[in-house]
Amino acid sequence: MSEYLPGLAGVPATKSNISDIDGEKGILSYRGYPIEQLTEHSSFEETTLLLLDGRLPSASELNLFDEQLKANRRVKYNIRSMMESLPASGHPMEMLQTAVASLGMFYPANDCLTSPEMCSNLDYVHNMTVKILARIPVIVTMWEHIRSGYDPEEPRYDLSFAENFLFMLNRKEPDPMLAKIFDTCLILHAEHTINASTFASLVTGSTLASPTSVIAAAIGTLSGPLHGGANEKVLDMLDEIGSPGNAKEWLDKKLDNKEKIWGLGHREYQVKDPRATILQKLTLDLMESKGNELDPMFEVAIALEEAAEERLAEKGVYPNVDFYSGILYRAMGIPIDQFTTIFAISRAAGWLAHWREQLLDNRIFRPTQVYIGEPPRDYVPLDKR
């Protein structure tokens, strides 16, 4: 194939049985299970094990995995010392990429990748997966306190994955409703076929780089505003609109100027992103629990979605996962610049599932290019130019 397709749009890069999207019907499934069923009945721990192993675990398997995650929550003091030396004004995603990349130096164990006989039972892959998944949320919450000049909170081992994150972030017992909402958000963001960051993890993994390097590469890719950073941009956009009554005029002006509307449209979906539908409901449920006090920005978002449907529905442009997630996280009291690190906490499950799948039938990625440069020519000496 020699045709150039910008962004590799529609070009299959791999085969996978981890997740699937039906963009015309708005269906997202993990290992065949619809995302709506998983968010209603499952937990992030169970969903992660489903993504990794390809099947729903038994009760004993899930309990063992949960205990392994809890046992690996502690982070060595060297990493904390390194984090303390980083500028407090830096973006949390840059901190997270740095810290995760450093994990490989403090927890080295990648001989398996170049010695197949050492890795025949996938123990190495599973153990490294557990260590990375368990430590990313701890690093994120540590940074929230370190950058403010305080000692980070120690992890607890009697709490779920979602509960422990909220406890370490807020230094208090997590509200059960907020913990359930956060757990649902983690499930929603855990996997989404071969997106940009997952593709980065595949390319890095195909070189047999260490798993911490694989995840660090994915985090760097996720940090861009066209990928994971879009939910921060959505809040800026809603603040700019100001009130529901301004939404239609604001949208018309942006469309006339051919400017980007953050949180609207997705390359895979021609209808509303199913994750956006769930996040919208979660936001409404949370606000109703607070006495029906609607966040003004939520009302702006509703008005913008209605205006966008009038103008853009025929083009298949609807809200995506970023449209409501930032509003929900802000309502939960999560700092705006930590939104994308939460995305990384969750998506690490999908990245590691794809890393494992890549290793099972590995071939290094080496795409070709369409050369548009100069034809062969002779070098001209410096004194004759």
Nearest by Cα to 192 from 6, 16, 338 = 16
266 an active-site residue? Answer: yes
Residue 318 · residue 269 · CB < 8 Å: yes
Are 319 and 273 in contact, with CB atoms under 8 Å apart?
yes
* Residue 311, both tokens: 């103008």
Q: Which of 322, 337, 354, 361 is catalytic?
A: 322
Beta bridge partners, 34, equal 29
Sheet holding 33-34, edge to edge: 19-22, 27-30, 33-34
Burial (Cβ within 10 Å: 0-12, 13-18, ≥19) of residue 236: exposed
How buried is residue 139: exposed, middle or buried, by Cβ count under 10 Å (0-12/13-18/19+)?
buried
Q: Alpha carbon of 167 to those of 154, 219, 282, 377: distances in Å?
A: 9, 24, 20, 65
DSSP-assigned states of every residue in 22-51: ETTTTEEEETTEEHHHHHHH--HHHHHHHH
Catalytic site includes residue 322? yes
Which residues, listed in sequence order, are joined to residue 319 by a DSSP beta bridge? 264
β partners of residue 244: none
SS3 assignment for 219-271? HHHHCCCCCCCHHHHHHHHHHHHCCHHHHHHHHHHHHHCCCCCCCECCCCCCC
Q: Annotated catalytic residue: which of 183, 189, 192, 266?
A: 266
- Pairing, β 33-34 against β 27-30: antiparallel
- E strand intervals along the chain: 19-22, 27-30, 33-34
Q: Which long-range contacts (CB under 8 A, 24 or more apart) does 363-371 make?
A: 363/206, 364/206, 364/207, 365/13, 365/202, 365/203, 365/206, 368/2, 370/2, 370/4
Work out the end-to-end distance of the chain between its first and last CA atoms, rounded to an integer number of angstroms: 39
Short-list 363, 348, 365, 281, CA closest to 99 = 348
Residue 189 CB: number of other CB atoms within 10 A? 23
Active-site residues, by number, are: 266, 322
